[in-house]
Amino acid sequence: MRDNDCIFCKIAAGEIPSATLYEDDDFRVILDLGPASKGHALILPKEHFRNLYDIDDELAAKAMVLAKKMVKQMTDVLGCDGYNIVQNNEECAGQTVFHFHMHLIPRYKGDQVGLEWKVGELTDEVRDEILEKLK
């Protein structure tokens, strides 16, 4: 399934050129055009899914296995010190391209990549509310 208005469908299919690090039947891994750090890459499934809410379970599992492989390989290539894997779902969470993708963001000691958040506190009330609703 593909979405003819989706830029990542076109990139994943090779219709729009991209700096491709890896490709197989299910995925294309490309360098992000607006990198948070040197080597920032995106894992794109070739099939169109809006985000994690929609993606096929088997493909989601494969994406994580591929992330592991890419992170290990790219750590050797880039000489980075660590990695963040980021995956945004819906606008409020920062998703801007509505085709499932995983960000692979290399981290370098002392870099200025800003993925931090203000640390909150888990209250007893909220903990109990969530655990109760999950039952």
The residue ranges that bind ligand 5GP (CB under 6 A) are 7, 11, 18, 30-34, 42, 88, 94-97
- Measured from the CB atom, the residue of 34 and 121 that comes closer to ligand 5GP is 34
C-alpha 15/C-alpha 93 separation (Å) is: 28
Residue with the CB atom nearest ligand 5GP in the bound state = 34
100: tokens are 């499932």
| Strand ranges for the chain from DSSP E | 20-23, 27-31, 41-45, 82-86, 102-107
Contact code string over 88-127 relative to Zn ion, x by CB under 5 A: -----------x----------------------------
Active site residues: 101
Q: Is 2 exposed, middle or buried (0-12, 13-18, 19+ CB in 10 A)?
A: middle
Q: Residue 83: which of ligand 5GP, Zn ion, none does it interact with, CB under 5 to 8 A by kind?
A: none
- Measured from the CB atom, the residue of 11 and 63 that comes closer to ligand 5GP is 11
Shortest distance in whole angstroms from residue 104 CB to ligand 5GP: 11
Contact residues for 46 (Cβ-Cβ < 8 A; gap 6+): 12, 13, 25, 26, 27, 28
Query: Which residues would be at the binding site for Zn ion (CB under 5 A)?
Result: 3, 6, 8-9, 48, 99
